[in-house]
Amino acid sequence: MTQAGVSLEVRGIRKSWGPVEVLKDVSFGIEPGGFLTLLGPSGCGKSTLLRLISGLDEAGAGQILIGGRDVSGVSAADRNLGMVFQNYALFPHMTVAENIAYGLRIRRVSKAAKQKALARVAELMALGDLLDRKPAQLSGGQQQRVALARVLVSERPLVLMDEPLSNLDAKLRVEIRSEIRALNKKLGITVVYVTHDQSEALSMSDSVVLMNAGRVVQHGTPMELYRTPATVFAASFIGTPPTNLLDAADVRPPGDGAAGLPADLAGCIFGVRPEALHLVVPGAAGRADFTASGRVAAVEYEGSVFLIHVETPSGARLVLSHSGAEVPQEGDTITLGWDRPATHLFSKETGTAIPVSA
Amino acid sequence: MNKRLPIGLAFVLLVLPCSLLVAFTHYPALRALANSFWNNGSSRRPSKFVGWDNYRAMMEDDRLAQVLANSAIYALGTVPLAIGLAIGMALLVNSKLPATGLMRLSFFMPTMLPMVAVANIWLFFYAPGIGLASQILSVFGLPPINFLGSTDTSLASMMVVAVWKEAGLFMIFYLAALQAVPANLKDAARLEGAGHVRVFFDVVLPLLRPTTIFVAVNALINAFRLVDHIIVMTRGGPNNSSALLLYYIYEVTFAHRDFAYGATLTVLMVVILGAMAAVQFWILDRKAHYQ
Ligand SMILES: Nc1ncnc2c1ncn2[C@@H]1O[C@H](COP(=O)(O)OP(=O)(O)OP(=O)(O)O)[C@@H](O)[C@H]1O
Ligand SMILES: [Mg+2]
């Protein structure tokens, strides 16, 4: 089964529901066969955007190009794409086989071809024994696989998925996640995947479009999003636990002065990931470019690491992901250090990143 | 929680509804059954047991044969018509057209009116010469029809009244069911290339099936139960052309005061309704189970 993917480009899309503008000038693109994730908090407009791409709703302004062709005015049925809905949208009165073959039936595919396509997809998704069941007689994971099979059987070059794993338990989610990724690689179909789970986005995607309040905040590879967050929002949304945000007043700059840092440090917010922080023990060897001190407010045991919550004198909270042998106790006053490359600076005014030269 | 009632209180609570049920449902039904084996008594001649005589008379009753045929036509005509109209109205009212609120109200209005008032409205509508129906016909240059006075049209006219009165109520059930059809099922079908008509027949209508069965049961019962409009409008005439079973029972029992034969016909009606209920519940059990 070889089905080459198509490219997708979204240009300056706007959409309003009544007086509320839900999408404000959204643009991004994806190569054929790519796996792009739309990531963002609940209500930021991800589903709305997906429905616009699929043609189920109409955009207020902007262009959508599928395979280089502007599809405004092309109906949902003619856009040649498949969609996996958030809660599967399986037809409850049809068997699994009827559900999967529904699109083929509508397109009057011959019976023999239908049987062949059905058998192939059923094997691919391991649904062989379930074909005669009704959706209500399936587990969540099985329903999920039927929904995927229904999209795959039509051999669409572009597949949209709206939080398809949100109803599954953690173990199944990881399993199906890798199954989806494998299908994308194996079949070469282009996938647009919606989620509000940042770890899901980072683990699966070729590229991630991070959205907030109807705008694209950042578009890049998972690594770019993690390493160089473009705004305070991107820094705080990606990574668990989220990036620590510190006022300049709480930070002691390096002993060699503030070379390479912006002149107006007071107008900056420092961002440091919990895993980039380490304990600075007085007198011991090891150095840090930046340090901050505070009182340990809580210690959480996470298995591989301890999460140590620290309260600075100004009242800000920091989280340190600590894997050392010596664990500070609640109430201790400790000093945390981190290095220059791990430092993200953001403008207090605009929230956007300020480059830090090494 | 599952606390047990004292046995005395449970007994009292059970006796009250049971005695009502017995007094007004079971006893009269059994009494009708008993009466159907006796003839009519008078002050001089007490009624006596006649065995199957009443039933034999029933088998040879030509009027009954016509009444049963009328009832069958009436039920088979009004039930699908009312269901079809109700679905159509529900789709209309559930659409994105303007003024759906007003439509809802006007479709539902006939249901709220008492049947006798409905019958009066339609008496004016059907009135030969001056009625709205005649005037509409004359606009198109057609000769007037005596809707209620002709054996060809009287039963059909009664069916129209019944459908008009009932469809609004059924529309409400269908409207609720339509709004419960998940939008993403329709979207999924659309993405697969189904047009509006296909979406309706492939997705929406099957999901409405439990509602359809429920509505069909009610419509069928009503077809046998509601005869007020016939009493008001045609009195079963002309020449029995619009007489239904319940109307016939009413006439035999209260106009002719033939209580024995009335009881026999009542037994027949109970048997028919019971058989229909049994069939419907059998279908209901087999067909109405998704989710
Ligand atoms: N049909 C609609 N009518 C009016 N407002 C809508 C409609 N659909 C969505 N909205 C609004 O648009 C905004 C974006 O909704 P959308 O469903 O796209 O969010 P989302 O990013 O998919 O969120 P979630 O992660 O919770 O699914 C929300 O504020 C929502 O209230
Ligand atoms: Mg959504």
Question: Residues A163-222: pLDDT tens digits?
Answer: 888 777 788 788 888 888 988 898 899 999 999 888 889 988 999 999 999 999 999 999
Give per-residue pLDDT as tens, B192-228.
988 889 999 999 999 998 898 889 888 888 888 888 8
Q: Whose CA is nearest to atom 2 of ligand 1?
A: A17
Full-model pTM: 0.79
B232 in reach of chain A (CB within 8 A)? no
Query: Does residue B125 contact residue B110 with C-beta atoms inside 8 Å?
Result: no
Question: From the candidates A53, A102, A160, A163, which should be mutated to test the interface with B, based on the most B CB atoms within 10 A?
Answer: A102
What are A73's two structure tokens?
């005015």
Find the CB nearest B203 among A83, A87, A91.
A91
Q: Whose CA is nearest to atom 8 of ligand 1?
A: A48
- Cβ-defined contact of B187 to A85 (cutoff 8 Å): yes
Which amino acid belongs to residue A79?
A: R
B137 in reach of chain A (CB within 8 A)? no
Instruction: Look at residue B1 in the predicted model and tell me its pLDDT.
Output: 54
Q: Of A26, A47, A166, which is best to mutate to test ligand 1, by the most ligand atoms within 8 angstroms of its C-beta?
A: A47
- What is d(CA B249, CA A126) in angstroms, rounded to the nearest whole number? 64
Instruction: Look at residue A1 in the predicted model and tell me its pLDDT.
Output: 44
Query: Does residue A241 contact residue A277 with C-beta atoms inside 8 Å?
Result: no
Nearest CA in chain B to A87: B184
Residues of A in contact with B193 (CB under 8 A): 77, 103, 106-107
From the CA of B239, how far away is ligand 2's center (Å)?
A: 66
Phi and psi for A278 in degrees, rounded to 5? -140, 160
Residues of B in contact with A82 (CB under 8 A): 191
Instruction: Look at residue A2 in the predicted model and tell me its pLDDT.
Output: 47
More reliable by pLDDT, A266 or B81: B81
Q: What is the mean pLDDT of residues B34-52?
A: 79
Nearest CA in chain B to A89: B185
Ligand nearest to the CA of A214: 1
pLDDT < 50 positions in chain A: 1-2
Instruction: Look at residue A169 in the predicted model and tell me its pLDDT.
Output: 79
Residues of B in contact with A154 (CB under 8 A): 192
Phi and psi for B111 in degrees, rounded to 5? -65, -35
A102 in reach of chain B (CB within 8 A)? yes
- Cβ-defined contact of A77 to B192 (cutoff 8 Å): yes
**A20-30 β-sheet, strand order:** A20-30, A8-17, A61-66, A69-70
Domains delineated in chain B: 48-287 (1.10.3720.10)
Q: Please indicate whether residue A214, judged by its CB atom, sits closer than 6 Å to ligand 1.
A: no
Instruction: Look at residue A326 in the predicted model and tell me its pLDDT.
Output: 81
- Cβ-defined contact of B193 to A77 (cutoff 8 Å): yes
Phi and psi for B166 in degrees, rounded to 5? -90, -30
From the CA of A169, how far away is ligand 2's center (Å)?
A: 19
Q: Please indicate whether residue A42, judged by its CB atom, sits closer than 6 Å to ligand 1.
A: yes
A56 in reach of chain B (CB within 8 A)? yes
Question: From the candidates A99, A105, A192, which should be mutated to test the interface with B, based on the most B CB atoms within 10 A?
Answer: A105
B residues 199..218 contacting A (CB < 8 A): 202-203, 206-207, 209
Mean model confidence pLDDT for chain B: 85
Q: For chain A, give the secondary structure using H, E and C.
A: CCCCCCCEEEEEEEEEECCEEEEEEEEEEECCCCEEEEECCCCCCHHHHHHHHHCCCCCCEEEEEECCEECCCCCHHHHCEEEECCCCCCCCCCCHHHHHHHHHHHCCCCHHHHHHHHHHHHHHCCCHHHCCCCHHHCCHHHHHHHHHHHHHHCCCCEEEEECCCCCCCHHHHHHHHHHHHHHHHHHCCEEEEEECCHHHHHHHCCEEEEEECCEEEEEECHHHHHHCCCEHHHHHHCCCCCCEEEEHHHCECCCCCCCCCCCCHHHEEEEECHHHCEEECCCCCCCCCEEEEEEEEEEEECCCCEEEEEECCCCCEEEEEECCCCCCCCCCEEEEEECHHHCEEEECCCCEEECCCC
Instruction: Look at residue A311 in the predicted model and tell me its pLDDT.
Output: 92
- What is d(CA A355, CA A246) in angstroms, rounded to the nearest whole number? 17
Å from B290 to nearest chain A CA?
7
Instruction: Look at residue B291 in the predicted model and tell me its pLDDT.
Output: 43
Over 60: is that where the pLDDT of B185 sits? yes
A54 in reach of chain B (CB within 8 A)? yes
- Cβ-defined contact of A87 to B184 (cutoff 8 Å): yes
Instruction: Look at residue A284 in the predicted model and tell me its pLDDT.
Output: 67
- Cβ-defined contact of A85 to B194 (cutoff 8 Å): no
From the CA of A13, how far away is ligand 2's center (Å)?
A: 17
Q: Please indicate whether residue A2, judged by its CB atom, sits closer than 6 Å to ligand 1.
A: no
B46 in reach of chain A (CB within 8 A)? no
